[in-house]
Structure 1
Amino acid sequence: MLTEILIVVFLTLLNGVLAMSELAVVSSRAARLRVLSEQGNAGAAVAIRLAENPGRFLSTVQIGITLVGVLSGAFSGATLGARLSEWLELQGLSNGAANALGVGSVVVIITYLSLIVGELVPKQIALRNPESVASKVAGTMLMLSRVAAPLVWLLDASGKLVLSLLGQSGASTGTVTDEEIKTVLAEAQSAGVIETEEQAMISGVMRLADRTARGLMTPRRDVEVVDIEDTPEEIRETLRKTQHSRLPVRNGNSDEIIGVLFVKHVYDAITAGNTPLDIRTIISEVPIVSDLASAMDIIQAMRKTPLHMALVYDEYGHFEGIVTSGDILEAITGAFQEGDEEEPSLVRRDDGSFLVAGWTPIDEFVDKIRVTTEADPDYTTVAGFVIAELKRIPELGESFVKDGWKFEVIDLDGRRIDKLLVSPASEPDI
C-alpha cells in the first residue's frame, strides 16, 4: 500500500511540474528570455523555441497531464479505494457502506492534493518568475515533445484544423499596445526601478511619436517675426525685446516667410561695420514641412539645418507656425517657463477642479484627466477638443459635460479659447 501511495504522490507532483511548465512558458516575456539567452542561459533559448511553436508545446504538456490524470485516477479508485474499503469492511461496516466511504474518501483526498500540489501552488510559482522557471523546465519539455513526437504532431495538426474551421487559422499577432507599455512603466515606477521623472519623459517620447507638426508648432499668431521692410532701428528694437535666438522674416504684409534671421548674425554684421544693415544678405533658409508631417519627419528635416527650426505650412501654402528643437524637447519633458507672465498649462485647484490653458496638448490633457477622445482627432489642443464637442466657437461661460467632467469656458481671447475650468460634474455617490 505504501508503494501505491508513493506512486500517487509522484503522479501528483508530476502533474504540478507539467502545469507549472505550461504556465511559465506561456506567460514568459520574449524580451526577457532573449536577455537571458544572450547571457548564456541555454534553457532560455530552448524556452524561446517552445514559445514560438505553442501548438506543439501545449500538445506535449496536455499529453503528459492527461496520462498523469488517468494513472492517478486508476490508482486512487481501483487500488487505494479498494484497499480502504476492505479495511473499513473489516471494521464492521457493510459492504456497500465500506465501498462508498472508502472510494469516496480516497477520491476526495486525491482531488484536494491534486488541486493544491498539482495545480495551484505550481502555477503561483510559475507566475512569480516565469522566465526563470521556463528556462529550467524547457529542456525537459523539449525532450518530452521528441519522445511523444507522433502523438504531439497528431494533436497539433488536429488543433490547427479545428482553429481553421473556427476562422482562427492566422498566427497570433503578439502586438503590444501603448496602454500596456504605460502600465509596465507605472509598475516599474511603483517598484522603484525608474524614477517618476523618467516615467514622465518616456511617456513624453511615446506621445511625441504620435504628434504631427500641428501639435508641436508654435502657432502663427504667437510667432515673433521680423518684417523685411522694417528699418534698421525697428529691427534692432525687435531683436532687443525678443528672447529668441532666431526669428522668421516676413515679406511685408504678406503671408510669405522668406527665411529666418539668426540674431547672432545681425550683431556680427553690426560689429563688422556693415552699414546700412541689409538683413536680406544674412537671412538663412530652413526646411518647410506640412502641418500634417509626423514628429519623426520633422526631426529628420531639422537635423539638416544648423538653425534647428522648420516652417510649417498647410496644404494651401499658408504659413501656420514654426517648430524648433525646443518644441521637441518640451513635448518630451514638459513646457519650460520663458517669462514671469507665462502661466502653466494645467493647474489643479484645492477643490479638485483643474484650470486648463486652451493651448494644452490634448494628449497631455488626456493623460491627466481621463476623457474619451476620437481615435484620430483633427484637433491637437484642449481648445480644439471643446470646439469639436460643441461644433462651434463657444461663448464666454458656456459649458458642457463629458465623461463625468464639466468643461466651462472662463476666458476668451477674441475667438480663441484661452482658459477652461474642468471640474467633476457631480459628487460621487456614497
Structure 2
Amino acid sequence: MNPVLGLVAVFFLIIANGFFVAAEFALVAVDRAKVENDVEAGRRRARVAKGLLARLSFHLSGAQLGITVTSLLIGFLAEPAIAELLHPVLEPLLGSTAMIGVSLVIAIFLATVVQMIVGELVPKGLAIARPETTVYYLGPLVRMYGIIFGPLIRMLNGAANRTVRMLGVEPTEELSHVRTLSEMQILVSASSRGGVLDDSASQLLTRSIRFEGKSAEDVLVPRTAV
C-alpha cells in the first residue's frame, strides 16, 4: 500500500478510536439525573442518551469492540507506512540492514504515542470533563453504530455475560443510580467541603438524613413534662 494512503487511513482510524473512547467514558460518567431533567425539558438528544443508558452494557460492549478493532487496524497500517517513509532518511545513515529494524522501532513508537494521545487520552479527558455534552453529541452516532453492528455486539456481550454468571455474579444492563442514606450523607459532606453547600444547608441535610428511622415519640417532649 502507498504509505501516504496508509497514513490517511490511520488518521481516520485514530478519529474513530477517539470516538469510541469518548463514548465509553461519557456513558459511564454522565449524570443520569441531569439527563432525566433534560428529557423532561424536551431535549431530543437527551432522549437518545437516555435510551443508550437503558442499554449501557450493550453500548459499552460496542465501544470496546470499536476500540479493539480500530487499535488493531492502526497498528497493522501505521507501522509499515511510517517505516517505509523513514527508509530514505535512515538508509544513508545506517545501511540497509540496520535500517529495517530501527525504522520499525521508530514506527511502533510514533504510532503508539499518537494513538495514545489523540485516540485515547484526549477523548477520555474531554468525555470526563463534559460527559453530558459528549454523550449528547455522540449519542446518535453511537445508536446508529449499535443498530448496524447489533448482532455482533449482542453475541460478544452474551458470551461475556455467561462468563460473568459462571463466576457467580449476575450482570446488569445499566448502572444503579439509587443512593443509600449513608451515600447521601457522604455526598452532602463532600459538597460542603467543596463549597457547593453552605454550613447551614449541610447541617440541615445531615440532620434530616439522620432523622430517618425515628418517630415523633423520639423527639417530642411529653405534655406532662413541659
TM-score by length of 1: 0.48
What is the DSSP-based 3-state SS (H/G/I as helix, E as strand, rest coil) of the residue aligned with 1:210? coil
Contact 1:15–1:65 (8 Å) recurs in 2: yes
2 CA distance for matches of 1:153 and 1:204? 47
Equivalent residue for 2:32, pick from 18, 30, 33: 30
Change (3 A) 1:214 1:143: same
**Which ranges in structure 2 are unaligned for 5 or more consecutive residues?**
none
Q: How much does 1:72 deviate?
A: 0.5
1:154 aligns with 2:155: yes
**Which ranges in structure 1 are unaligned for 5 or more consecutive residues?**
227-243, 245-430
Identity of aligned residues (%): 23
Larger Rg: 1
2 CA distance for matches of 1:113 and 1:173? 32
- C-alpha RMSD over aligned residues: 2.4
Which runs of structure 2 are paired with 1:333-352 in the superposition (5 Å)?
none
Q: Partner residue of 2:113? A: 112
Q: How much does 1:163 deviate?
A: 1.3
Q: Counting strand residues as a fraction of each chain, which structure ranks higher? A: 1
Deviates more, 1:171-180 or 1:92-101: 171-180
Q: How much does 1:217 deviate?
A: 4.4
Change (3 A) 1:151 1:86: farther
Q: Partner residue of 1:45? A: 47
Aligned AA (1:128): A
Task: String of CA shifts for 1:184-214, please: whole Å, max 9, x gaps.
Answer: 3334445544332112111111111233456
Which runs of structure 2 are paired with 1:54-73 in the superposition (5 Å)?
54-73=56-75
1:136 aligns with 2:137: yes
Contact 1:47–1:135 (8 Å) recurs in 2: yes
What is the DSSP-based 3-state SS (H/G/I as helix, E as strand, rest coil) of the residue aligned with 2:179? coil
Deviation above 6 Å: which 4+ runs of structure 1? none
Aligned AA (1:203): T
Q: Partner residue of 2:18? A: 16
1 CA distance for matches of 2:76 and 2:96? 21
Task: String of CA shifts for 1:249-268, please: whole Å, max 9, x gaps.
Answer: xxxxxxxxxxxxxxxxxxxx
What is the DSSP-based 3-state SS (H/G/I as helix, E as strand, rest coil) of the residue aligned with 2:170? coil
Total equivalences in the alignment: 222
| More contact order relative to length (CA 8 Å, sep ≥ 6) | 2
Contact 1:81–1:106 (8 Å) recurs in 2: yes
Q: Partner residue of 1:211? A: 214
Aligned AA (1:127): I
1:103 aligns with 2:104: yes
Q: Partner residue of 1:195? A: 198
Q: Counting helix residues as a fraction of each chain, which structure ranks higher? A: 2
Change (3 A) 1:136 1:10: same
Equivalent residue for 2:181, pick from 178, 182, 203: 178
Q: How much does 1:183 deviate?
A: 3.4
Change (3 A) 1:56 1:173: closer
Q: How much does 1:5 deviate?
A: 2.6
1 CA distance for matches of 2:62 and 2:223? 70
